Amino acid sequence: MSNILRSLLHRLGAALIVMIGISMLIFAIARVMPGDPARIALGPNATAEQVAALRLERHLDASLPVQYWEFVKSLATGDLGKSLYTNRPVTTDIAQFLPATLELVFVSGILMVLIGLPLGILSAHFRGRFPDHVGRLISLLGVCTPAFVWGVILQLVFGYFWGWFPIEGRLLEGTPIPPGPTGFYLIDMAMAGNGAGFLDALHHLILPALALAMSGLGQTARLTRSNMNEVYDRPYVEMARAYGFPARRIATRYAFRPALIPTLTILGLEFAAMLGNAFLVEKVFGWPGLSRYGVEVILRKDLDAIVGTVLVIAAAFLIVNIIVDILVNVINPRIRLAAGRA
């Protein structure tokens, strides 16, 4: 157990270094931008005094290392500054919009695994036969198609033409928004005991989540297929075949578990892509998440809000990657032992 703990601490340390690096990167990008940040923040109508006051408040006349130190100090107290677009603290804005984005991304992640893994297993199981060709085609199309293209296609076919799913939003108009506490409507509705509300939220989630999942789903299926095929070629699987073990048992008992480990490691990367691609899907389906806010503050050059949004997404990504690492550790005894020895 202490081995796992030690490797966990090691990973947390590495994540912390990366997080510091990200804060430097974002800070650098925000500072190399041409123009006076205070002037851009206040807009063309501000007086010279107002600009000077803001420069003083934000330590903009200090040297860059001092500015960075002030930036980190305010980050450490959980202060991300104030959005000029909404005129509220950036943390308040993000707390409002992030849950919708995270709910979408988590449901997509679940779909990615629930569809991608079986698709890959079927492909490997029927290697070179019809289900394999279909599986490979689906994963290829998934990987090659931007999330917003899937979004508009799914929306047109299942939303507009067939009317099976709502076109946009998180709930039907007039449905009261659940009071909380998580901001994940599925969880909030379930906790409030509102069955109809839960189904409505789910109904609204399916198309956007599927559009967002397609790329990762294709990648997962592709990798599961090639990893399982590799295991199928190993002597011990041949041996199991020679003993006459049923094909299903060979697939689930012998081929799937070793194939799962490399697949799990890419899930973290896929999750990162989803956090980014959520911006595209949210735009297609009018999803009230971080995307509309993010694009809006970017177009308005709302510095604090841009920096805050990027930092929060990067942090979310790092946390998920640590969780994936831990899962891989738990599943793979070899890595567990190696981590203990190191």
**Closest CB to another protein among residues 146, 202:** 146
In the block, residue with structure tokens 């991300």: 80
Spacing of C-alpha 285 from chain mean position: 17
**Closest CB to another protein among residues 201, 312:** 312
Q: Which stretch binds another protein (CB under 8 A): 83-91, 106-114, 190-198, 272-280?
A: 272-280
Does 13 interact with another protein (rule: CB under 8 A)?
A: no
Give the shortest CB-177-to-another protein separation in angstroms: 26
**Closest CB to another protein among residues 186, 227:** 227
Spatial contact of 72 and 79, defined as CB atoms under 8 Å apart: no
Give the shortest CB-210-to-another protein separation in angstroms: 16
**Closest CB to another protein among residues 185, 285:** 285
CA distance 223 to 209: 21
Give the shortest CB-18-to-another protein separation in angstroms: 5
- Tell which one of 113, 115, 154, 318 touches another protein (CB under 8 A): 318
Burial tier of 43 (Cβ tally within 10 Å: 0-12, 13-18, 19+): exposed
Please count the residues of this chain forming the interface with another protein, following the rule CB under 8 A.
Answer: 49
| CA-CA-CA-CA torsion sign (153, 219, 328, 310) | negative
Give the shortest CB-69-to-another protein separation in angstroms: 19
Q: Of residues 82-101, which lie at the interface with another protein (CB under 8 A)?
A: none
Q: Which stretch binds another protein (CB under 8 A): 138-146, 175-183, 187-195, 229-237?
A: 138-146
In the block, residue with structure tokens 């500015």: 67
- Tell which one of 277, 289, 328, 329 touches another protein (CB under 8 A): 277
Give the shortest CB-22-to-another protein separation in angstroms: 6
**Closest CB to another protein among residues 198, 317:** 317
CA dihedral 37, 87, 305, 103 (to 10 degrees): -170
**Closest CB to another protein among residues 185, 287:** 287
**Closest CB to another protein among residues 159, 183:** 159
DSSP state of 89: B
Tell me the two tokens of residue 270. 């896929």
Residue 120's closest CA among 32, 232, 23?
Answer: 232
Q: Of residues 113-132, which lie at the interface with another protein (CB under 8 A)?
A: none
CA distance 342 to 132: 41
Tell me the two tokens of residue 109. 């992640």
In the block, residue with structure tokens 């033409």: 161
Q: Of residues 152-181, which lie at the interface with another protein (CB under 8 A)?
A: 152-153, 155-156, 160-161
Burial tier of 126 (Cβ tally within 10 Å: 0-12, 13-18, 19+): middle
Spatial contact of 72 and 23, defined as CB atoms under 8 Å apart: yes
**Closest CB to another protein among residues 153, 261:** 153
CA distance 91 to 84: 13
Q: Which residues of the shown chain bind another protein in the complex (CB under 8 A)?
A: 17-18, 21-22, 24-26, 29-30, 32-33, 140-141, 143-149, 152-153, 155-156, 160-161, 272-273, 275-277, 279-280, 283-284, 294-295, 297-299, 301, 306, 309-310, 313-314, 317-318, 321
